[in-house]
Structure 1
Amino acid sequence: MNTSNKSPVALITGGSRGLGRSMALHLAARGVGIILTYRGGVAEAADTVKQIEAAGGKAVALALDVGDTSGFGAFVENVRTELGRHFGRERLDFLVNNAGIGINASFAETTEAQFDALMNVHLKGTFFLTQRLLPVMADGGRILNISTGLTRFAFPGYGAYAAMKAGVEALTRYMAKELGPRGITVNVLAPGPVETDFRGGAIRNSPEMKKALSAQTAFGRVGQADDIGGIVALLLAPESGWVTGQRIEASGGILL
């Protein structure tokens, strides 16, 4: 990982809002420089950067559509440029593959277009973006992929989404095995239900859904963004360097 006296730098995809925003703020509070990506939320991305800088940290926002691999080459060059210009670094220490979309449709009604959209963002995007970023990753660095509790338990309507995330979990183990010689750890974090604006704020805006999900957790509540942001910071801390190839679920003990 970072052996110089400069602070480590993390790249967080989808870091402008929701879970990604919380991850960025928690890591920045620990002295980590942040490169966050956004697809359409320019104002949200700028606000997250402003918050980090107001607290004395360093951050930059870059546009990226993780569902479009044709833009990955130019994006990686932008990352190289910002690493040098903004952080005085040549390598990333941390990569968090967080960006995602949510589509709720039964197995019988899922369209091929919906399937492809989920695959391109969650599985293909994670695979090839990480691949393209490997030359920019520092030896001894960390990669954290974001999955979902829905790979362990099943709620109707999320079959295609969960299938992509199950693929990410399998990919994580292979990445950990193949990148181990470089000292790079690769793990996957699987959040349970979290009250954010994901899927249009489906949990946040539905008292009935929120109550039903809360009743299934050990703590009697759904998660908050900071529950996940804090765990990400812990998994990327120096003390977690012996953990690799693992699935860590952060669900408040749902459906135990």
Structure 2
Amino acid sequence: MSTQTPIALITGGSRGLGKSMALKLAEHGTDVVLTYRSNQAEAQAVVAAIETLGRRAAALPLDVGKAATFNDFATQLRQVLQQWQRERFDYLVNNAGIGVHASFADTTEAQFDELVNVHFKGTFFLTQTLLPLIADGGRIVNVSSGLARFALPGYSAYASMKGAIEVLTRYLAKELGARGIAVNTLAPGAIETDFGGGTVRDNANVNAFIASQTALGRVGLPDDIGGAVASLLSTDSRWINGQRIEVSGGMFI
């Protein structure tokens, strides 16, 4: 990795966990390119917040569920990196995602296909497309979920995609090791965000139940995850590779 200020690319960086990751990385001295699916104003507000922290940032539109657009996105990213006078970036955080809550019996093929496209196919082929733009010695963090370890009814399809991501992470770590690129999975537990309709944040009964099943006695907050990503991407964590790191406060242990 270069000795210049590192640049992180965070998909889905305009809100929720991705926003916290972007701000925490900026606080730790990293410049940020973030992607957003539709809300440009929201994304630009995050860019402005990063700039108030003294770091540089940019926002690009991207729907990770549409792999056919990835080559065009890479072209746009190359142009943005020229603002840094750089040809490569250092950290890729595959964070963008959607939530689908449906029992196994009721999950539709359309829901399943959307989850595949966003969470698995998107991560697989976006990472593949961006490989030439990732600096040797860089890092990749793939975001999974605690639901890949414990089972809660209604998440069979979503969690299956995250299970696939965890296997993919190990293969990427193996195959990209020759370039000095470390690849890890970060698996959040239940977090108070608007994800999945904001149930964990807004439903008092759900929130209390999760807190009661978490060793540290509360539900997670976005900054718990943002801070963990910043730590995982710090130089002090450079020897962590091919690992699944759950950040859940000790949920269901």
Report the TM-score range of the alignment, normalised by the length of the smaller protein.
over 0.9
1:202 Cα shift? 1.3
RMSD over aligned CA atoms reads 0.6
Per the alignment, residue 2 of structure 1 pairs with 2
Question: How many residue pairs were aligned?
Answer: 253
1:136-155, Cα deviation, whole Å (9 max, x unpaired):
00000000000000011000
1:32 Cα shift? 0.7
2: distance between equivalents of 1:188 and 1:229?
A: 14
Per the alignment, residue 74 of structure 1 pairs with 72
2: distance between equivalents of 1:73 and 1:33?
A: 23
TM-score of the superposed pair, with normalisation by structure 2:
0.99
TM-score of the superposed pair, with normalisation by structure 1:
0.98
Q: Secondary structure at the match of 1:51?
A: helix
Pairing partner for 2:30 from 29, 32, 53: 32
1:181 Cα shift? 0.4
Q: Secondary structure at the match of 1:47?
A: helix
Structure 1 residues without counterparts, runs of 5 or longer: none
Per the alignment, residue 241 of structure 2 pairs with 244
User: How much identity, in percent, do the aligned residues show?
Assistant: 61
1:198 aligns with 2:192: no
1:215 Cα shift? 0.4
2: distance between equivalents of 1:54 and 1:255?
A: 39
Q: After superposition, where does 1:223-242 map in structure 2 within 5 Å?
A: 223-242=220-239
1:62 aligns with 2:64: no
What stretches of structure 1 move > 3 A for 4+ residues in a row? Answer: none
1:231 Cα shift? 0.3
Per the alignment, residue 121 of structure 1 pairs with 118
Structure 2 residues without counterparts, runs of 5 or longer: none
1: distance between equivalents of 2:142 and 2:210?
A: 24
1:207-227, Cα deviation, whole Å (9 max, x unpaired):
110001110000110100000
1:109-141, Cα deviation, whole Å (9 max, x unpaired):
000000000000000000000000000000000
Amino acid at match of 2:192: E
Per the alignment, residue 84 of structure 1 pairs with 82
Per the alignment, residue 132 of structure 1 pairs with 129
1:16 aligns with 2:9: no
2: distance between equivalents of 1:163 and 1:219?
A: 27
Q: After superposition, where does 1:90-169 map in structure 2 within 5 Å?
A: 90-169=87-166
1:189 Cα shift? 0.4
1: distance between equivalents of 2:223 and 2:54?
A: 20
